[in-house]
A and B are shown apart, each in its own frame.
Chain A
Amino acid sequence: MSGYAGYVGRRLAQFLLVVFIGINIAYVVTHASPIDPVEQSISAVTSFGNTAPDAIEQMRRSLRELYGLGGTPVEQYLTFWKRILSADFGPSMSAFPTPVGTLIGRALPWTAGLLAVSTLIAWVLGNLLGGLAGYYRQSRGLKLMGVIAMGLHPIPYYILAMLLLILFGFIWPVLPISGGSAMDLPQTLTVEFVGSVLQHAILPALSLILIGVGSWFLGMRSLVANVLAEDYVVYAELAGVKSSRILTSYVMRNALVPQVTGLAMSLGGIFNGAVITEKVFGYPGLGSLLVDAVYAGDYGLVLGVTTISILGVSVGVLAIDLLYPLLDPRVKVS
């Protein structure tokens, strides 16, 4: 249908505009930083001993070229976009000469795997339990779950994460407290390696799921409470429609619409890396990479991570906008 095609076209244009503006802001912010990475590298080299001044000058020139800092600001800006479009972020300054793309490629699977899986688990569990708790308001077990969710929800995430670390790392040391897998294992697809990855993921995933389930649960429960008061639910009940059918097609189906939006937003946010999670649990993902890059003034790397997350969030929002008309028929596409 042409209405939908036009809608997709307009949404895509909007998406490109958002990405363009976002990357520009990231560019301006990193280049406005007072840390000059070239001077930093040079001072790192010169601190080991004397170097001839003309050698330093030559090094400065070649470094500027490598990092895309040669020429006038306009030329620098154009170089920057040329590199972005060819997905080349140049070499990392802090891990010279490894390219930024390689560093991101190494970190991305860790972050995406951990966060995508725990976000999905939290979303499914939280909505299922929250929906049931809203529908069967008399159930004691679900009421208790509501109390637990209420209690978990306001705990600052890093406190909960530390608590889990202390509980399962020190008091009852059954789980590894840091890293993505055991150090001595080669990162190949062996049973041992996968098992180690899973074992290392339990604590960070648990911390994310506990917090996530709590907020999805509370959100879904109050959404369901609102939907229950809608005329179409009351009417279906009066009509003797089977209660399993009412729960799924009438109550949950309507309450889930805003929750799906939330899921897309948090899946897009994955690419930011859960900075705190990865720091607390020493996880080798994008979050850790970003923090280290900021400390080192490695703005090629910062720009790379930022670009990935801008793309991630925008794609998430775009996907939901394109799916929304299918999810809620009342959303007009034209």
Chain B
Amino acid sequence: MLASVAQPHGDQDVQPLLVVRDLQAYYRTSHAGVRRGIRAVDGVSFTVRRGEIYGLAGESSSGKTTLIKSIAGAIKPPLEIVGGSMEFAFLPGYGGLHRAPRAMVERIRWRHLSYIMQGSMNVLNPVRRIGSSFIDFAYPHIGGSRKQFEQQVVAHLARVRLDPSVLSAFPHELSGGMRQRATLALATICRPGFIIADEPTTALDVVVQKEVLGMIRGIQRETGSSVLFVTHDMGVHAHITDRLAIMYAGRLVEEAATAEIFGNPLHPYTKNLISSLPRIGEDAPRTGLGGAPPNLADPPSGCRFHPRCPLASEICSRKVPVMREARSGHRVACFAVNGDDPA
């Protein structure tokens, strides 16, 4: 194996923050005796290093949300973890939040693992002042006197350029951008080691989007947190992530440094994804990919992309391709790139 090239953040000797191994998360329902399983996440493995922003891209219903729900331990029926493990540096030996005792999970949440949710506009309790939300979310972890805590919150709000007066405001009294920044401050006040960001900028206009992305980057650099950044928007990934994984139909198909993915995509799906992005100065119409993403209740055999793949060969419908390092630090799951898997 080639020695890994210099990484922009973290070094390889340090234990990674999160190691996901062969994770399988299915939605299992049973109606009138007919059992159905939707294999939303099926054999996903990846590692999030300390201090990096790890991007996860994929179209709708590719399993991104299921994957982060599983990692965040928000597992409610019909979602079920069927196999695999998620090992956090701050929770060694349990293989995931869902296996740890409840009291321990309550201590870990927000202290070590926080969350910026999709639809951040509505994540603040409408009948509670922003300051009370800070107390509910962060005070049990930070402790000390109320006064000290308040000073800390005010200092932290300044990082996202919010006035201390927002603490006495109700969420509906703030603009969308201010609410987003307040949520960002709420998610980072405890300086967690790991932040999951699920489409944090999707509902925002591009100006606010850029501002929020800059703030996430700034806080992440300052606290040395790792971020798992999930969005379908490749432009946002190009802007903020260090490494990027592409998900398709419940599996990872490619993973590399973000610049490498954009400059040298290997998987046919990634290639299509990149080439579909508009570029300034180009006026040729974009060609789309034929077909639609598969139904995960009955996914295609072998490589799940083969029915839509321009490079598909006979083996693709028979065998499941595994993620292999095609180049240094660049993993891809494709027979057309890796050749026939001997295993």
Contact = CB atoms under 8 A, between A and B. Distances in A.
Contacts of B137: 236, 239, 241
Interface stretch (A52-60, A123-131, A227-235, A289-297): A227-235
A102 interface: no
Q: What range describes how many residues of B lie at the interface?
A: 20 to 34
Contact of A242 (B106, B119, B128, B172): B106
A254 interface: yes
B19 interface: no
Residue from A232, A235, A236 whose CB has the most chain B CB atoms within 10 Å: A235
A328 interface: yes
B126 interface: yes
A189 to B, nearest CB: 43
A82 interface: no
A239 B115 contact: yes
B2 interface: no
Contacts of B125: 232, 236, 249-250, 253-254
A254 B72 CA distance: 26
B117 A236 contact: no
A238 interface: yes
A240 B127 contact: no
Contact of A254 (B109, B117, B126): B126
B136 A230 contact: no
A102 B256 CA distance: 89
B74 interface: yes
A156 interface: no
Interface in B113-152: 114-115, 117, 119, 122-128, 132, 136-137, 140
B339 to A, nearest CB: 43
A236 B72 contact: no
Q: What range describes how many residues of A lie at the interface?
A: 20 to 34
Interface in A181-214: none
A241 B119 CA distance: 19
B105 interface: yes
B140 A231 contact: no
A329 B126 contact: yes
A26 to B, nearest CB: 39
Residue from B109, B115, B125, B140 whose CB has the most chain A CB atoms within 10 Å: B125
Contacts of B122: 230-232
A330 interface: yes
A245 interface: yes
24 contacts: A230-B122, A232-B126, A235-B115, A236-B125, A238-B74, A238-B117, A239-B109, A239-B114, A240-B105, A240-B107, A240-B108, A242-B106, A245-B136, A249-B125, A249-B128, A249-B132, A249-B136, A254-B125, A254-B126, A254-B127, A328-B126, A328-B127, A329-B170, A330-B170
Given A328-B126, A329-B173, 14 more contacts: A231-B123, A232-B122, A232-B123, A239-B109, A239-B110, A239-B114, A239-B137, A240-B107, A240-B110, A245-B136, A250-B125, A250-B128, A253-B127, A329-B126
Interface of A: 230-232, 234-242, 245, 249-250, 253-254, 257, 328-330
The 5 residue pairs across chains A and B that have the minimum distance between CB atoms = A240-B109, A231-B122, A235-B123, A329-B170, A240-B106
